[in-house]
Amino acid sequence: MDHRPPPRPPGPLTTPKRPARPQGLYAILGDIHSNLQALEVVLADARARGCTHYVCVGDVVGYNANPRECVDRIREVCAVVVRGNHDHYCASQTDLEGFHPLAADVAQWTRRTLTPEQLEWLRSLPYTQRVESFTLVHSTLDTPEKWGYVFDRFEAEQNFNYQKTTVCFFGHTHVPLAFEKTNEVRFGLYNKIRVQLGRWYFINVGSVGQPRDGDPRAAYATYNLATAEVELHRLEYDIAGAQKAIREAGLPERLAERLELGR
Compare residues 60 and 239 and give the one whose CB is closer to Zn ion. Answer: 60
- Minimum distance from residue 56 beta carbon to Zn ion (Å): 12
Pairing assessment for the beta strands 53-56 and 167-170 based on DSSP bridges: unpaired
Compare residues 49 and 234 and give the one whose CB is closer to Zn ion. Answer: 234
Q: Any idea what DSSP says for residue 168? A: E
Residue nearest to Zn ion as judged by C-beta position: 59
Compare residues 119 and 205 and give the one whose CB is closer to Zn ion. Answer: 205
- Minimum distance from residue 84 beta carbon to Zn ion (Å): 6
Compare residues 59 and 213 and give the one whose CB is closer to Zn ion. Answer: 59
Interface residues toward Zn ion, by CB under 5 A: 31, 59
Query: What b/e sequence results for 73-109 when a residue is b if at least 16 CB atoms lie within 10 Å of its CB, and e otherwise?
Result: bbeebbebbbbbbbbbbbbeeeebeebeeebebbbeb
- Minimum distance from residue 89 beta carbon to Zn ion (Å): 11
Q: Any idea what DSSP says for residue 251? A: -
Residues 89 and 96: beta-carbon distance below 8 Å: yes
Helix/strand/coil percent split, the chain, to 5: 30, 20, 50
Q: Any idea what DSSP says for residue 84? A: P
Distance of alpha carbon 218 from alpha carbon 237, whole angstroms: 7
- Minimum distance from residue 32 beta carbon to Zn ion (Å): 9
Compare residues 195 and 203 and give the one whose CB is closer to Zn ion. Answer: 203
- Minimum distance from residue 235 beta carbon to Zn ion (Å): 18
* Strand order across the 229-235 sheet: 80-81, 53-56, 25-29, 218-224, 229-235, 192-194
- Minimum distance from residue 184 beta carbon to Zn ion (Å): 28
Q: Which of 227, 208, 228, 220 is nearest to 167 (CA)?
A: 228
Compare residues 47 and 149 and give the one whose CB is closer to Zn ion. Answer: 149
